[in-house]
A and B are shown apart, each in its own frame.
Chain A
Amino acid sequence: MSWLRISLTAFAVSAALPVYAQTVTITTAGGDYGNAMKEAMWAPAAKELGYDVREETLSDGLAALKMQVTSGAVTTDVIHLGSPEGAQAAAQSLLEPLDYKIIDPKAVPAGAKSDYCYPFDSYGTVLSWNTKTYGENPPKTWAEFWDVAKFPGRRALRANAQDSIEIALLSDGVAPADVYPVLSTPEGLDRAIKRLEAIKPNVAVWWTSGAQSAQLLKDGEADLVVTWNGRAQTVKADGGAADYTFKGSVIGTDCLAVPKGAPNKEAAMKLIAAMTQPARVAKLTDFIAYGPVNPAGYEGGLIPEDRLKTLATAPENAGTSVFSNSEWWVKNGEAAQKAFDEMMAR
């Protein structure tokens, strides 16, 4: 008797819920970043679409995605990944192709475009310097960063080929648009590695974590540090004798994708389209210094003027910067890293 009553109650309760509400599950990295995405992007989008969005948080999105897809138990509809991870996931056939009838492919710059993971925010690998060492006249281009005669001082670079080889080519006079075409030739990678080898005697530290690069800049252990804009901005804001420029930065992006076999594929595409509307990606900068990839996010005063300076993709920085090409890295990353490591061991 009681079982019947419980079942009937359960039936009544579930019938009372709006059955027409589309449920979509989104997986983010959580933390401050996850909250920022919720407040600025998906919560307003869900409201507009009338979706019931559930959030899951995971720190290692790619590993979780791989497990869900290979085990055939996909529970998430939208997943937040770094663009290199997105490209890796696409190469391993873990993602649905983006539905460009629903999502606008032309809203992001050509250099950032992907068929599987839709880029929405960005950060830059930038040139930062110690203001005590250089005063009013710091090196502001990669060519000047390499000019040890005119700008003596201790350099710090990341102990990784990623971003370093792009920067090396920029310093050698390669135009931003030509960086990947040049790198794709056999001589191109050599040229970048030779350039890094030339600066090597002046590199005091090859850093391995973002926190370490910030520490080097803050302590004056190095005078010129290649670091991420968020790190440089934090040192500067904390009163460190440091400044940085977005000119010539290598821009990395984060993106949104739909796992292969997602339960609500079409709704997921619609959610991605809605949550990446210019006003929403602009609003994200209220919470965290990751600027929109979509240039429209910078228009119409969506982002306050003074904040623009802290964003890698602000329009005034466009043209000098290079979008890190995830597909290139998935294809050539191992060879590039090997050449880099061999240069380091010489």
Chain B
Amino acid sequence: MTATADPALAADALRERRFFLSLSLPALFIVGLAAILPILWIIRQSFLTTGGEYTFGNYEKVLSSGLTWSALVTTLELSLATLAICILLGTPLALALASARPRVANVLMAFVMLPLWTSILVRTYGWLVLLRRDGLINAALTGSGLTAEPLPLVYNFTGTLIGMVHYMLPLFLLPVYAAMRDIDANLIRASSSMGASLGQVIRTVILPLSAGGIFSGSTIVFIYTIGFFITPAVLGGGKVNPLSTRIERTLSTFQDWGSASVLGILLLIVMAMIGVMFLAARRLSTRNGAAHA
């Protein structure tokens, strides 16, 4: 930078940086108010008894309870299963969208986005109508003689998973689609002209170059699903109880703000750990991807 050689210009640059920083203050203020303050409040709450005295009792109680750990296992099972299905369904779909002609891609994209604009409550209850015993799917299955008995599609893990995948798929798709669309078409043409089969093109060119998008999508899916509440509560039939329902139970039945806060912090830590893991994995994979390209 030659500008820094001149002290007057350097002062100008500094002033400019300060000005830009001051522009971001309202946003920082809102983030501080809406995100950081409540978290600090929850941390404080987690160390208080119902009488308002300081204690470690809430941590002891929550961390020594088998219910907490079984809820954590359910949470991770749900998130991992949702993520796996999103990758399996979403990646080929993104590939199809990215390689379709623009008009077709737009129409397909509208179908993908439509559910994203519908309230999650409406969609969850919609699934209830489709999946229940006398719902559309079971009526079609038993009516056509494919199955003798209605399948248990809802009020269990399966139903919860269907609802969660439906919600998360568009959010996974968008970054993957964006990454795939940004791939230079010349690279694909070049690899084909060098004799690569379609499978080879996908494996060695497209997937490595869209790995960043896949990781972004996966991070979004995992972090979102860790805190999912409505879907397991409505479609789980009381049998699927992740940490979010554990928190609700602790608050509504026991009015135990201390323990609920500990559970909230646990959720936050799990989220942070997974976020860091994904970021690390992403850095690693994009470096490899770049080497391939």
The 8 A CB mask of B121-133 against A (1 = contact, 0 = none) is 0000000000011
By a CB distance below 8 angstroms, the chain B residues around A316 are none
Across the interface, B238 reaches (CB within 8 A) one of A338, A342, A344, namely A344
Q: Which of B67, B132, B233 sits near A341, CB closer than 8 Å?
A: B67
Q: Would B66 and A345 count as touching, CB distance under 8 A?
A: yes
Cα(A207)–Cα(B239), bound, Å: 10
Q: Interface residues of B, CB < 8 Å — how many?
A: 18
Q: Which of B41-58 contact A (CB under 8 A)?
A: none
CA distance A106 to B249 in the complex (A): 37
B254 contacts the other chain (Cβ, under 8 Å)?
yes
Q: Name which residue of chain B comes closest to A204, CB basis.
A: B155
| Chain A window 242-274, contacts with chain B (Cβ cutoff 8 Å), 1 for yes, 0 for no | 000000000000000000000000000000000
Select one of A205, A338, A341, A342 contacting B155, CB under 8 A: A205
Instruction: Assess whether A219 is in contact with B238, with CB atoms less than 8 Å apart.
Output: no
Report which of B67, B132, B133, B241 forms a contact with A338, defined as CB distance below 8 A: B67
- Write out the residue numbers on chain A whose beta carbons fall within 8 Å of the beta carbon of B249: 337, 341
Whether the pair A221, B67 counts as a contact (CB closer than 8 A) is: no
Distance between Cα atoms of A337 and B246 in the complex (Å): 12
Q: Nearest CB to that of A88 among chain B residues? A: B255
Provided the pairs A204-B237, A208-B233, A345-B67 are in contact, do residues A337 and B254 lie with their beta carbons within 8 angstroms?
Answer: yes
Decide if A143 is an interface residue (CB 8 Å cutoff). Answer: no
State which residues 71-100 of B face A: CB under 8 Å: 71
| A334 & B254 in contact (Cβ 8 Å cutoff) | yes
B66: contacting residue among A221, A333, A334, A342, CB under 8 A: A342
B133 touches A345 (CB 8 A): no
Beta-carbon contacts under 8 Å, B183-207 to A = none
Q: Are B238 and A208 in contact (CB under 8 A)?
A: yes
Interface residues in chain A, defined as those with a beta carbon under 8 Å from any beta carbon in chain B = 159-160, 204-208, 219-221, 333-334, 337-338, 341-342, 344-345
List chain B positions with a Cβ less than 8 A from chain A.
Answer: 65-67, 70-71, 132-134, 152, 155, 233, 237-239, 241, 249, 253-254
- 9 A-B residue pairs with CB within 8 Å: A159-B238, A206-B239, A220-B134, A337-B249, A338-B67, A342-B66, A344-B241, A345-B66, A345-B241
